[in-house]
Amino acid sequence: MIALLFISFFLLLILGVPVGISLGVASIFTILYEGSIPLLVVPQKMFISMDSFTLLAIPFFMLTGVIMDKSGLTQKLVNFADSIIGWTRGGMSYVSVSSGMLMGGISGSAPADTAALSSVMTPSMVKMGFPARFAAALQAASGSIGIIIPPSIPMVVLGGIASISVGKLFLGGIIPGLLIGILLMVVSGFICSIKNYGSSEKKRFSITYFIKSFRKAILPLMAPIIIVGGILTGIFTPTESSVIAVVYTLILGLAVYKSIKLKDMTGIFVEAIISSGNVLLIIAASSLFSWILISHNFPQILSNLILSISDNPIFIILVINVIFIVGGMFIEGLALLIMFVPIMLPIAMSAGMDPVVFGVMIVINIAIGTLTPPVGVCLFVACSSSGVKLDHAMKSAVPFVGVLCVALLLIVFFPTLVTFIPNLIE
């Protein structure tokens, strides 16, 4: 039954069927073939998986991302980052990464951040002498930070299905997210220096430009402070923070900057609803898929297989990472998370890993999956926005995938990078 489930799922993916539908159809086909489970279980399991207060954060964070893009808040953040470091050699690469970090503190969606960054940054970088393939790969890598720095939609989902505190996951992602951002800046700066990218940049630091851009960006910059600060102080929960984010960005767009009008709200809500519906369909179908795996004793089979090779805790954790990295190449991140986290978490905990460290580690694996084809959603979004061929951008993305892998290893060997802030708040 397990073999049938996976084979039918991958066949549907190869045929180009969307991930959520592939998961659902493969699960239903397996249930029908087995014959002993009533089909009434299908809607029950799918509904129960979405009937969660925690998951309410997903549509609100999706809506926040759309509002940011349509209201021009993204451009204000980019301009502010540009005023600080855009004047340096290869500075636009630093601007891309720092903008991704700033946006990651608001929307929590890697594809949404990548789409917004690509539309703003890629044309500017190409004009300044950066190859389009490098610019596209960098936007994808910068956007991937959005699910590591809080808030994060995958962390919301992971917390819901694994009964891990979403607040602790958010706090645990702060240091790794900042670390990845710094490493991406170092690597992109080194590449620009070696390959002479951005050689046509002629700017100098301008205090006038800095003050002007800071004034325009100060209110958008307050969003991540309000969101994370509210969670830290216990004023609101992570789910409630998603509503605060929507209200705050709406006020900025409608009343403060007046960059969107009431008539634009229909299109904004429709876009957010479509994105949220796609995500929630994947969650529901993945939960059904995962339930079939668990009911057929797949967790015990996999656990015994791993332990039969070695019972060394580090080896076990590294094997889990390899499974998620390889799986992320073929399966969308949220689907992979829901399918395998209930299976892998007990194995990781038996190896002595803290659940919060495990959660952040898995989210970094998902971020790697957004950059690795054939699924690589962030890479696809960046290439689509810039008109770059996927195979060209793939080569330029290799160093950035390496950065995320290095961060992954640092977390495995130095888990205090994750636990320091949550323990400090406690």
Preceding omega of 313 cis (within 30 degrees of 0): no
CB 245 within 8 A of CB 151: yes
> Whole-angstrom Cα distance, residue 251 to residue 257?
9
> Whole-angstrom Cα distance, residue 384 to residue 381?
5
Q: What is the pLDDT of residue 376?
A: 84
Q: Which has the closest alpha carbon to 280: 14, 30, 57, 86?
A: 57
CA-to-CA separations, 130 to 92, 124, 135, 193, in angstroms, rounded: 9, 9, 7, 12
Rg of the chain over Cα atoms, rounded to whole angstroms, equals 21
To 10 degrees, what angle do helices 416-425 and 390-413 make?
60
Q: Which amino acid is at 260?
A: I
pLDDT 10s digit of each residue in the chain, 426 long?
Answer: 888 988 998 899 888 888 889 989 999 999 999 888 888 888 998 888 888 887 888 888 888 888 888 888 888 888 888 888 777 777 888 888 998 888 888 877 888 888 878 877 888 788 778 888 999 999 999 999 989 998 888 998 999 888 899 889 999 999 999 999 999 999 998 998 888 887 655 567 788 888 999 998 899 888 888 887 887 777 888 788 889 989 999 999 999 999 999 999 999 999 889 888 888 888 888 888 888 888 888 878 888 888 888 889 999 999 999 999 998 888 888 888 988 898 899 999 989 999 999 999 999 999 999 998 877 888 888 888 777 887 788 889 999 999 999 999 999 999 999 999 998 876
Residue 56: both structure tokens together: 């309410």
Q: What is the pLDDT of residue 397?
A: 92
Q: What is the pLDDT of residue 173?
A: 94
CB 81 within 8 A of CB 99: yes
Residue 340: both structure tokens together: 């395998």
> Whole-angstrom Cα distance, residue 416 to residue 399?
25
* Sequence-separated (6 or more) residues with CB below 8 Å from residue 320: 344, 347, 348
Give the Cβ contact number of residue 263 at 10 Å.
Answer: 7
Q: What is the pLDDT of residue 426?
A: 65
Residues in the chain: 426
Preceding omega of 374 cis (within 30 degrees of 0): yes
Residue 206: both structure tokens together: 């301008």
> Whole-angstrom Cα distance, residue 268 to residue 178?
30
Please give the helix or strand (H or E) that residue 284 lies within, else none. helix 265-295
Residue 101: both structure tokens together: 């970090």
What residue ranges do the domains of the chain occupy?
1-39, 55-425
Q: SS in 3 state form for 12-74?
A: HHHCCCCHHHHHHHHHHHHHHHHCCCCCCHHHHHHHHHHCCCHHHHHHHHHHHHHHHHHHCHH
> Whole-angstrom Cα distance, residue 289 to residue 12?
14
Q: What is the pLDDT of residue 142?
A: 92
* Sequence-separated (6 or more) residues with CB below 8 Å from residue 255: none
The three-class DSSP label of residue 387 is coil
The three-class DSSP label of residue 4 is helix
Sign for the pseudo-dihedral over CA of 264, 265, 270, 271: positive
Count the helix, strand and coil residues of the chain and give each as a percent rounded to the nearest 5: 80, 0, 20
Q: Which amino acid is at 325?
A: I
Sign for the pseudo-dihedral over CA of 357, 361, 366, 371: positive
CA-to-CA separations, 421 to 167, 169, 180, 405, in angstroms, rounded: 11, 10, 17, 22
DSSP characters for 95-146? HHHHHHHHHHTT---HHHHHHHHHHHHHHHHHHTT--HHHHHHHHHHHHHGG
Q: What is the pLDDT of residue 364?
A: 96
* Sequence-separated (6 or more) residues with CB below 8 Å from residue 24: 42, 46, 281, 284, 285, 288
CA atoms lying within 13 Å on the CB side of residue 231:
28
Q: What is the pLDDT of residue 201?
A: 54
> Whole-angstrom Cα distance, residue 3 to residue 9?
10
> Whole-angstrom Cα distance, residue 147 to residue 378?
12
